[in-house]
Structure 1
Amino acid sequence: MLRVENLVKSFDGERRRRRAAATGATDRVFAVNDVSFTVHEGDMFTLLGPSGCGKTTTLRSIAGLERPDSGIIEVGGQALFRSLEGQRVLSVSANERGLGMVFQSYAIWPHMSVFDNVAFPLQVRKRGQRPGKREIAERVGRVLATMELDALAGRQATKLSGGQQQRLALARALVIEPPLLLLDEPLSNLDAKLRESLRYELKRLQRELGITSVYVTHDQTEALVLSSSVAVMRDGNIIQLGKPREIYQKPNSRFVAEFIGTSNFIPAKVEARDGERYSVATADGSLALNSTADLAVGTDVIVSIRPEAVDVSAVSRTGEIPNEWKGTVVTRAFLGEAVDHVVRVGEFEIRARGNPSVSIRPGTDVFVQLDPDKLSLVPVD
C-alpha cells in the first residue's frame, strides 16, 4: 500500500552558516538517512522515537509537506515522490496527493460548526471532483455517526471537549476517504485518562474501517497499543522494525530496550554457543538463554530482561530451571496494579514486577529466576 525506499532528507548544519564564506564547506544534518519500509493495506504502522529522531520529517515527506533529497514514496502503486540519480525528479504537491492528515494541534476552524468543519474538505475540491450537496451531507453524516458526533453536528467546534475536538479532526481527515491516513502525535495534547480512552477508540475505528495508517509518536505505550508494526527511529535511522510484541520482548539494542519500557541490563561475555542457544558469563555466574543474534564466542554483550519477566521466590527451584540467583530484597514499591521489588544479586540490582498481592519486606533473602526464553542478548553499543 505504502512503499518508502531509501528516503533521505537533510538540512544545512549550523557550522555551514558560520564558515561557508571562508571554506565553502557543506555540512549537512540528516533528519532522515536512507529510510525504507512498507505498510500493507489495513495496517497501522507507527514511527516511534525521541524528539529529533526523524519520525515527523518522514511523515511530512510522505504528506508532501517536506521535499526529500532523494528516495521513492509510493501509495497504492502510484509514485508521489521519486528522486533517483540520472532521472527527472517527480514530486506530487501535497494538495494533489489525496492523503488524510491529523496533526498534534487539531487545526479546527473555530468559526464553523462541527458539520461544516467536516464538510469543508469536500466543498473546496475542484469543480469536477466535488461531490453534490446530497452526497456531501450523506458522507459527513456517516463519518460523524462513526465518531459519535452526529448529535453535535450543529454545535460550534470550539464548544467541544478536547476528546470531541480530536475526533472531529479525525472525522475531517476520513471524510475524503483517503487511501492513507497520516497521524502526527494526535493524542499528545489530551490528559492522561482521555488519551488512554482514545487510544482504544482509535484502534477500534482503524480496524473496523480498515484504514491504512502511519502514526507518529514518542509514547511507547501508544505505539504498543495501536500498532500492527513499529519502526523505532534514532538519529534519522530505523534501528528496529517489527511487531509490537517482538520489539518489546526482543529488542535488538540497548537503545530500543531502554526507550520502550523498563529493562534490567546485565553485562556479560559469550562463553559458548550452539545455534541459537547461548551461555554467557556474568560477574555473578553463567546464564543460559536463547537468541537469534549472531554473536561469536568472546563477544561482550548485554543481557536484557523486563521486570515482569523476573520471578522472585522464597524457595529455591534449582534443577527445575537453568537460571537462578540468590539475592536480598533492597526495596519495594506499590504501583497499584503491581509491586516492584529491587533485589541485590552480587554487584547487580535486578528489578522484578509482580502481583500486587505479593509484597516482600526489604532485607528478606529470596531467589531470582530468569527464564531463558525471556532474556534478550544485545551487543554492546
Structure 2
Amino acid sequence: MTMLTITNLVKSFGSEAGKRAKARSGSSKKGTDAGQDAGPARVFAVNDISLEVGEGEMFTLLGPSGCGKTTTLRAVAGLERPDSGRIVVGDRPLFEGGSTRHLNVPANQRGLGMVFQSYAIWPHMTVFDNVAFPLQVRKRATRPGKREIQERVAKVLETMELGHLADRQATKLSGGQQQRLALARAVVIEPPLMLLDEPLSNLDAKLRESLRYELKRLQRDLGITSIYVTHDQIEALALSTTIAVMKEGNVLQTGRPRQVYETPNSKFVAEFIGTSNFLRGTVAGREGGNVDVDTEAGRVRLESSVNIPVGEEVIAAVRPECLEISTTRWGNRPNEWAGTVTNRAFLGDAVDHIVRVGQGSLRVRGNPATSIEPGTEVYLATDPSKVTLVPVG
C-alpha cells in the first residue's frame, strides 16, 4: 500500500539578485511601468518532483545543502505552501494546487509526526509532560482520557528506554536522550507518517552512529512510515528502505540503498554516494553483455545492457573497495593494469592507496593489513561486474 504520494510538486522562491534588480529598476524609472521588466528571478527549490512511499518504509531524501530535500519535507508537513502539485497521505489529500483546484490542509490538522534537527523539546516541562502535551491539546472530541494518555505515554517512554526518566526535567537529559524524547513526542500521536529533518546531525559521531541503529530498530518495531532528510550518505545507506538522491530541486535517482550505491545512474550520484574512480574514455567494442572502453588508465571491460555505439564517449566508474592491489601480476584478469603507488593513508579499518595508472590516478581501498610504500610498482584488477557505465554529462 502507498502511504505517501507526491505528484508534480513545485516550490520556488524569488532570488535576492532578482529582488535587487527590481529595486534598482524601480528607483530609476518613473510611472506605472517601473520595474515591470525586471521582476525577481525564480529559484526552484523543488522542481516538479513525483515520489511514492510505501507503507512501513523508511524513505530518505538525500542530497547536499540547498537541493530541496527539507523544502519537500516541510511541504508535506504543511510548513511550506508549494506553488503547485499534489500531496496525498494514505487516501487523504493534504495539498492540491494548480489552475483548477486549491486545497491546503493546515499543518496542525494533518496529524503527522515531525522531529526537528534542534529537538524542539519544551525546557520547562518534564519528560512525561513533553510527550503527553500533543495529546492533551487535541480538540475535546478527539482528546484521549487521562488514563489513556497515561498509558500511551508510559508505553512510548518504555519503548524509547526513557521510562525511568519520566519525572526528570527535559533539560537535564543528555543529547541522545533528548533526541529520543523528541521521537517519543512524535510517535505518541500514532501518526500515519513521521517526518524526520536531520534528527541526528547535532550529535557527536559516536552517539550518532549508535542512535542510527536505535532509530532503525524503533522504526521497524513500530512500523511507522517515515520520511528522513539527511546529507549524510552513510546515514542514508544504513537507515533507509529507499533512497531518493536530490540535486537542485530534482530527484536524480530513486532505489534501494544497494542499488543506488552499486549502479548509480549519473556521475553526481556516484560521487555523492560514497567515493568513485571515474575513467573517461570511448567505447572500443561490445561482446554480448560486455563493453570495452579505452580510457586513460588503459582498456576497461564492464558489464552493461545499454546499447552504446562504438566511438561514443562514456565514463566508467569503479568504487575504491572494488579494486584489488598486488605487487605481483595476476595475468588472467580481464581488467588488470600496472601502476605505481604515489600515496597511502591509514584509515583504521582500511588503507587507501593512490596509484598512478597511465595518465590518471586510481584510489584503492583495502584491508589494513596491506600497506604498500609509495614508489612501489603494483598491479590493480577488478571484475567487469564491479564497473558501472555512467553518462558523460
TM exceeding 0.5: yes
2:224 aligned residue? 211
Correspondence 1:28 to 2:42: yes
AA partner of residue 124 (structure 1) = V
> Contact (CA 8 Å) 1:293, 1:378: kept in 2 or not?
no
Correspondence 1:18 to 2:31: no
1:191 aligned residue? 204
AA partner of residue 302 (structure 2) = L
- 1:14 CA displacement: 2.3
Cα distance in 2 for partners of 1:339, 1:8 equals 44
Cα distance in 1 for partners of 2:323, 2:52 equals 35
> Contact (CA 8 Å) 1:314, 1:365: kept in 2 or not?
yes
AA partner of residue 6 (structure 1) = N
AA partner of residue 186 (structure 1) = P
- 1:229 CA displacement: 0.6
Gaps of 5+ in 2: 23-33
1:173 aligned residue? 186
Alignment of 1:169-318 (within 5 A): 169-274=182-287, 276-318=289-331
Given candidates 367, 375, 378, the residue that maps to 1:355 is 367
- 1:24 CA displacement: 4.9
Taking only the aligned residue pairs, the percentage that are identical comes to 66
Cα distance in 1 for partners of 2:110, 2:289 equals 46
AA partner of residue 27 (structure 1) = A
Q: Secondary structure at the match of 2:108?
A: helix
- 1:284 CA displacement: 3.7
RMSD: 1.3
Cα distance in 2 for partners of 1:231, 1:237 equals 10
Q: Secondary structure at the match of 2:141?
A: coil
AA partner of residue 221 (structure 1) = I
Cα distance in 2 for partners of 1:294, 1:80 equals 43
- Segment drifting more, 249-258 vs 135-144: 249-258
Correspondence 1:50 to 2:64: yes
**Following TM superposition, where does structure 1 have runs of at least 4 consecutive aligned residues deviating by more than 4 angstroms?**
none
Cα distance in 2 for partners of 1:28, 1:249 equals 35
- Segment drifting more, 330-339 vs 110-119: 330-339
- 1:361 CA displacement: 2.0
Q: 1:156 to 1:292 in 2, by over 3 A?
A: farther
- Segment drifting more, 291-300 vs 340-349: 291-300
Q: 1:190 to 1:294 in 2, by over 3 A?
A: farther
Cα distance in 2 for partners of 1:94, 1:56 equals 15
CA deviation profile, 1:154-175 (whole Å, cap 9, x unmatched): 0000000000000000000000
Correspondence 1:378 to 2:390: yes
Cα distance in 2 for partners of 1:27, 1:337 equals 48
The number of residues matched between the two structures is 379
> Contact (CA 8 Å) 1:32, 1:237: kept in 2 or not?
yes
Q: 1:230 to 1:293 in 2, by over 3 A?
A: farther
Given candidates 115, 118, 129, the residue that maps to 2:128 is 115
CA deviation profile, 1:95-129 (whole Å, cap 9, x unmatched): 01000000000111000000000000000000000
Gaps of 5+ in 1: none
**TM-score between the two structures when normalised by the length of structure 2:** 0.94
Cα distance in 1 for partners of 2:80, 2:288 equals 45
**TM-score between the two structures when normalised by the length of structure 1:** 0.97
AA partner of residue 12 (structure 1) = G
Cα distance in 1 for partners of 2:378, 2:290 equals 27
CA deviation profile, 1:347-378 (whole Å, cap 9, x unmatched): 11111111111112222221100211111111
- 1:293 CA displacement: 4.1
Cα distance in 1 for partners of 2:143, 2:287 equals 65
AA partner of residue 335 (structure 1) = L
- 1:36 CA displacement: 0.7
